[in-house]
Amino acid sequence: MPVASTWTEAAKALADKVTGDTPAWHDAVSNTPRHLLVPRWWRRIPNSPTQEWELVHLPEDSPERLHAAYSDETLVTRVGPLHADRAQPDERASGDPTSSSTLPGLIVSMADRLGAKPGHQVLDVGTGSGYSAALFGRRLGDENVTSVDVDPYLVDAARTRLAEFGRAPRMEAIDATGELPGSEYDRIMATVSVRPVPPSWLRALRPGGRLVTTIAHTALLITADMGTDGIARGSVQPDPATFMETRQEADYPPKLNDVFVSARVREGEDVRPPDGPIPDLWQEWPLRWLYELETPGVETRAATYPEDGRRVVWLLAEDGSWARAEDGTAPLVHQGGPRRLWDDLERVRRKWEEHNRFSLHSLRAELSSEGGSLLSPDGSWTFTV
């Protein structure tokens, strides 16, 4: 396909691609200049040992910038505490992404699930580049859109860039897990992940209103409708979505490298063969997410030893608990610290198998300002979210 020569051509081509099943959003995507919202971004340096990123800064009218901006891809705009806007041309960033412009197709899909109509008051949680706020503003009217983010710079930059093409939604820099601007919304969509679902969201959602969000450290996308009894009921959707977790500081807490030092090669306090095959938690994602729901906050790492092809999985916890599982001709599990993390993983796997490995998309959601739960189809499993 030839590279578009103008942003309007590129935006229309993107709209044709991502709104085939959601034609109501075609106009908004076609008329939103994403390249103005994301003038610079970070690109991961392949095979960098410390997760390094290089800056991408291209002329506004260059074909390469139009191609990137109007591709259905996520553009990472902030790594650690460093925003691409504030980086020097040859500067590199290191660490995990802390803000991005989410791939447009996912934004459109979530907005469609939200079911927002003209006249609805919509809360957009996670301003980022301002792209989702722009789409909502175009379709629903700026006066019906409130967008929030924890980072004042992101909010200011998005407000300025949106104004360049006539968009002026209400925008505020707040911690969205606390109190919200405004007290009543018909729709809430979050492009950050949460756990727990903030009580303020459920208090602000009107009866008949709808919430679309994801659960932190999983790709479980939840849609729930608020009832007259103050409980929003819904389910996990069939298409997964991964978002950065809400944060209160400039960066996320450091990874558990100190625990990993112990877990990497140390003899465990408990050493035994695994109960069954060692799972690849990056391929067996339903098991990984069930484990996260049951045992939140466990960091997972994996590696393959090139000399013999052995695969190793580590589980790490903030309290110093760790597990290392090594496959090969004689698989072994080493565990240390106050908890036995691999025992927990095997317990989750056994219970899931006893219940016929039900689809995670069959989990039901019940959310209220008093607390939230995901429930398995037969009610045998309840996860607090």
Domain match, 265 and 206 both: no
Q: Do 12 and 134 fall into the same domain?
A: yes
The predicted-structure confidence for 198-251, as pLDDT tens digits, reads as follows 999 999 999 999 999 999 999 999 999 999 999 999 999 999 999 999 988 878
Q: By the 8 A CB rule, do 73 and 103 touch?
A: yes
Dihedral angle of Cα 194, 197, 203, 204, to the nearest 10 degrees:
30
Q: Are residues 226 and 324 in the same domain?
A: no
Q: Are residues 270 and 306 in the same domain?
A: yes
Q: Is the same domain home to 340 and 266? A: yes
Examine the domain organization and report whether 221 and 289 are in the same domain: no
pLDDT (0 to 100) of residue 4: 64
Q: Tell me: do 321 and 187 sit in the same domain.
A: no
Q: What percent of the chain has pLDDT over 70?
A: 99
Q: Is this prediction's pTM over 0.85? A: yes
Q: Residue 127 domain-assigned?
A: yes
Domain boundary among 170, 203, 236: 236
- Give how many domains the chain has, as a whole number: 2
CATH number of the domain within which 295 lies: 3.30.160
Decide if 328 is inside a domain.
yes
Q: CA-to-CA distance for 378 and 385, rounded, in angstroms? A: 18
Closest CA relative to residue 358, chosen from 375, 346, 345, 342:
375
Shared-domain flag, residues 55 and 187: yes
Task: Give the pLDDT mean for 173-188.
Answer: 95
**42-83 residue pLDDT tens:** 999 998 777 899 999 999 889 999 999 999 999 999 999 999
Residue 265 pLDDT > 50: yes
What region does 203 belong to: left with phi over 0, alpha with psi -120 to 50, or beta?
alpha
User: Does one domain contain both 78 and 183?
Assistant: yes
* Same domain flag for 147 and 295: no
Specify if 345 maps to a domain: yes
| Residue of 328 and 185 predicted with greater confidence | 185
Task: Evaluate whether residue 371 is within a structural domain.
Answer: no
Residue 268 and residue 229 share a domain: no
CATH number at residue 215: 3.40.50.150
Would you say residue 383 lies in a domain? no
Mean pLDDT rounded to a whole number for the chain: 94
- Residues 194, 343, single domain; the answer is no
49: containing domain: 7-86+98-236
Q: What is the pLDDT of residues 296-354, one digit of tens each?
A: 999 999 988 777 778 999 999 999 999 999 998 899 999 999 999 999 999 999 999 99
Q: Does 361 fall in a domain?
A: no
Can you tell me the distance from the alpha carbon of 225 to that of 234, in angstroms, rounded to the nearest whole number?
6
CA distance 188 to 116: 9
Is 16 within the bounds of a domain? yes
- Phi/psi region, residue 329 (left: phi>0; alpha: psi -120 to 50; beta: rest), is alpha
